[in-house]
Chain A
């Protein structure tokens, strides 16, 4: 039995492990240089405040160490022919410019690389080198060269990394390659992107200092983030420290603002961040502006209650109408908590404003849908064959969907999807292989 799994965030990892443990040979394909997806970048998870990478890291090393999981980094699906039971898949594996079996991840090349570029993982709040390991616990822990920024690959100069590498793992001549594989089923787990609300005028995102997305705050709080867990801003939008008052604004870009859907996780995510902030920095005040509070998982309601009673997080049912930059460096939030609109706006000043933005279909969703010949739904996510009775089946036989690429959800739901999609794939592969086999009782 052979399956292709596209995407190696928590969903793809769980699909790969469930299938591999059921005896399936898994081809796990990842666009980035390492597995982990969004979960690897989170600090903690709600509602237990359990450390995110601690839950994920063991799964990642299990994945990479299994004989029947083949992991392809920097790779994308290029074309798919055939049908259920016999998909002929061509992968495009982009050059890493590093010989994977030689690199030990020692990091010498990174220390010596003279080229710094904004780190996409931290939304440009920090820099990384042109040769990089995406994050400290990356699996596999192997360096990769960013071909757009490497001085040697772009201008033929430098070459420091090759000189420094004690194992001679750097290979500037590596080329992109096509890999052909045959699989019986395909599972798509490409996740979601986090919306950055540049286009929504009223939030001033990207225009004034001290307005962040919740994911950017998450990176700041994370011990492996740009400030190693310190609440200090040194981003493209100026320097802010001595933060005392923080506002969270929910549903930014969601629920009709730009995208129609509710992103499911933002209410709990904001609560988690408020709790973490109050825990680490007790003199910070946190206020959450919300529309409807949606605590969609087990024990979430308790979590919200606890944030009020034990951590004094303020909740405000109000719609935020605008944000104004003040001369003292703070931002004034104007909000409507009476439903009367303009005539009865209230306001409050904050040092930092955190926008809980929408989870949106990842870039290249349409392209991949075309390659796989599967349909999208009205929200731009992959479409369930039947959202009630076969929630994780796509509109094409033999291709299954799991996690946020299906619609926004939290880790728990993504993992449920992952096992459900695995079950569907196992069902269809079992039918062919063991139709007439007796199963002992």
Chain B
């Protein structure tokens, strides 16, 4: 059973690992280890040629275990898993050792130490691999339904796109009306469409799709399960829920359980489109002390409702509370919004003097730069200030006075605007944190929901079957939210179009040892364990659909009856033993 023919493959990852760790030397040193049949290294194991070499070696040398020293398994384990499978090896006999994130990247300045650690990590990996056992995956049917959380522009777009791709969609919105942040805006860059028209257009699209069911005043209460089969509980957030359903009559009626404010649904995938909110500039530039000082969205409200009387002078201050103040990031929408609003005022009141006090004008791309140019052409003044010389705002009896040092030349300027508009960043809200908690997905350091990989998976989350779009991911302009909404629908559609989903067996119970005490059942955060009575007596049983592989049950079990298939205590013991043996041989 134990591995007698182990293949070791080391990756230099270009220079990522290779520059710090001498991989050819490491390969040479690993060759003498008991049961290691084959050692090979490459510049990029993940490339087509690298993968082929691994596949060929498994077949040629009849390898029965594979140890790969490369980057984090989060990245590419799947790739190597399939290579093993392709070569006819049970893919669960693969062990990955992280020589990049856990060695070369963190020991950049200590090559010697990194080399020693790399060898230790590899020896531990090899000793674990010897004890790995074949596992067999199971599969489940997929629920073809999609849940979209959030009925703003991103959520509506995602729902419409998914329905048009042929999927049944449930769209929930916590407020009484669809629309989200869009409801508070005036016109939308880059086309100048009125926000009301955009909302109507999106709502019309939603209404025209038979496959979309809309539930407003509804929130996510809890979610169990995993991709393909999420059991979702929804709750109404107000006493008077308005369920605008346009589902055909032959649909299943809404299920109601126990508490009549809770609804149960099963969905195959979830798209999160829960948005963000404008930060309140409390403590900045006398906000709240004078009604002539307002936020950008409050100002949009004036424009939208045609309540702006001709001002003699207007001043916008950008980056209020952003970029190193209350939040570290640039909100990416505020410069565009400010210039767009300033141009609109100029068109209506050409004599109004408008100044935008900015740090960096953030209007990337072709259309953004065009807007900036239009701003210049409309005779809007742009004045640069730096973070350590922020403008000073005073409230005089009649006038607001804004004074500061501006431009590269640090010229002193004074403004006396009738209105002062503060551009504050979009920030994540507490509902996003709650949703992250319910779905057990991570948030980033700014409390936005985190993507799986910032470059190649910007709409996926760490959890398969859960996708992101719009401002709950990061602040972004509406056109980007729309693209992302459509994109998330395409991502979700991939899961929903499958016939079944493969489940990897995470934990298993030794029914001979288990006494059926039920401690594991109590601690499991995913309700993946239950007690059953059968021919083996009373014992715990793992539900592979619900199990997320956290290991809490194993840590709790006092008879060692539950084990993580891939992190069995015998694996861990062997790893520690091999490390101690190595250290003693080296004379540490």
Query: In the complex, which of the residues B145, B479, B491 contacts A387, with contact meaning CB atoms closer than 8 Å?
Result: B479
Interface residues of A in 292-314 (CB under 8 A from B): 292-302, 305
A409 to B458, CA, bound (A): 14
A338 to B409, CA, bound (A): 4
At the interface, yes or no: B388 with Cβ under 8 Å from chain A?
no
At the interface, yes or no: A238 with Cβ under 8 Å from chain B?
no
Q: How many A-B residue pairs have CB under 8 A?
A: 252
Interface residues of A in 29-68 (CB under 8 A from B): 43, 45, 47-48, 50-51, 53-61, 64
Q: What's the interface size class on B, roughly?
A: 35 or more
- A53/B14 in contact, CB under 8 A: yes
At the interface, yes or no: A317 with Cβ under 8 Å from chain B?
yes
User: Which residues of chain A have C-beta atoms less than 8 A from B165's C-beta?
Assistant: 22, 423, 426-427, 430
Query: B residues bordering A, Cβ < 8 Å?
Result: 13-16, 18-19, 43-44, 46-49, 51, 71, 75-76, 79, 108, 144-145, 161, 164-168, 188-191, 193, 198, 201, 211, 251-252, 323-324, 328-330, 332, 360-370, 373, 384, 407-409, 444-445, 448, 451, 453-459, 473-474, 478-480, 482-484, 486-491, 493-494, 497
Sampled A-B contacts (16; CB under 8 Å): A58-B76, A224-B43, A255-B369, A264-B364, A302-B329, A305-B328, A386-B191, A387-B190, A388-B191, A388-B479, A407-B367, A415-B457, A415-B458, A423-B493, A430-B166, A441-B252
- B44/A137 in contact, CB under 8 A: yes
A295 to B335, CA, bound (A): 12
A261 to B252, CA, bound (A): 53
Q: How far is the CB of B397 from chain A (nearest CB, A)?
A: 35
A300 to B454, CA, bound (A): 11
- A420/B486 in contact, CB under 8 A: yes
Interface residues of A in 401-430 (CB under 8 A from B): 407-409, 411-413, 415-420, 422-424, 426-427, 430
User: Which residues of chain A have C-beta atoms less than 8 A from B189's C-beta?
Assistant: 388
Name which residue of chain B comes closest to A340, CB basis. Answer: B409
- A23/B497 in contact, CB under 8 A: yes
Query: In the complex, which of the residues A60, A222, A340, A416 contacts B483, with contact meaning CB atoms closer than 8 Å?
Result: A416
Q: How far is the CB of A405 from chain B (nearest CB, A)?
A: 12
User: Which residues of chain A have C-beta atoms less than 8 A from B168's C-beta?
Assistant: 439, 441
User: Which residues of chain B have C-beta atoms less than 8 A from A387's C-beta?
Assistant: 190-191, 367, 479
User: Which residues of chain A have C-beta atoms less than 8 A from B366's C-beta?
Assistant: 260-262, 377, 379, 381, 407-408
- A262/B49 in contact, CB under 8 A: no
> 17 more A-B contacts (CB under 8 A) besides A57-B46, A419-B491, A427-B161?
A18-B494, A21-B497, A50-B455, A55-B456, A61-B46, A229-B15, A262-B363, A262-B365, A292-B360, A305-B324, A391-B479, A407-B366, A413-B480, A420-B486, A424-B161, A430-B165, A440-B144
At the interface, yes or no: A318 with Cβ under 8 Å from chain B?
yes
User: Which residues of chain B have C-beta atoms less than 8 A from A137's C-beta?
Assistant: 44, 47-49
8 closest A-B pairs by beta carbon, nearest first, are A419-B487, A261-B366, A223-B14, A423-B490, A137-B47, A427-B164, A423-B486, A339-B408
- A54/B455 in contact, CB under 8 A: no
User: Which residues of chain B have C-beta atoms less than 8 A from A337's C-beta?
Assistant: 408
Name which residue of chain B comes closest to A21, CB basis. Answer: B494
Q: What's the interface size class on A, roughly?
A: 35 or more
A64 to B79, CA, bound (A): 13
- A423/B487 in contact, CB under 8 A: yes
At the interface, yes or no: A362 with Cβ under 8 Å from chain B?
no
User: Which residues of chain B have C-beta atoms less than 8 A from A392's C-beta?
Assistant: 483, 486
Q: How far is the CB of A64 from chain B (nearest CB, A)?
A: 7
- A53/B365 in contact, CB under 8 A: no
At the interface, yes or no: A269 with Cβ under 8 Å from chain B?
no
Q: Which of B51, B445, B483, B488 has the most chain A CB within a 10 Å cutoff?
A: B483
Query: In the complex, which of the residues A64, A388, A441 contacts B193, with contact meaning CB atoms closer than 8 Å?
Result: A388
User: Which residues of chain B have C-beta atoms less than 8 A from A407's C-beta?
Assistant: 365-367
At the interface, yes or no: A96 with Cβ under 8 Å from chain B?
no
- A339/B409 in contact, CB under 8 A: yes
User: Which residues of chain A have C-beta atoms less than 8 A from B473's C-beta?
Assistant: 298
- A388/B486 in contact, CB under 8 A: no
Query: In the complex, which of the residues B14, B198, B329, B486 contacts A419, with contact meaning CB atoms closer than 8 Å?
Result: B486
User: Which residues of chain A have C-beta atoms less than 8 A from B480's C-beta?
Assistant: 391, 413, 416
Query: In the complex, which of the residues A50, A59, A301, A339 contacts B329, with contact meaning CB atoms closer than 8 Å?
Result: A301
Name which residue of chain A comes closest to B165, CB basis. Answer: A426
- A140/B48 in contact, CB under 8 A: yes
A337 to B201, CA, bound (A): 48
A61 to B363, CA, bound (A): 36
User: Which residues of chain A have C-beta atoms less than 8 A from B193's C-beta?
Assistant: 388-389
- B455/A412 in contact, CB under 8 A: yes
- B252/A58 in contact, CB under 8 A: no
A301 to B475, CA, bound (A): 13
- B483/A391 in contact, CB under 8 A: yes
- A408/B365 in contact, CB under 8 A: yes
- A298/B456 in contact, CB under 8 A: no
Name which residue of chain B comes closest to A23, CB basis. Answer: B497
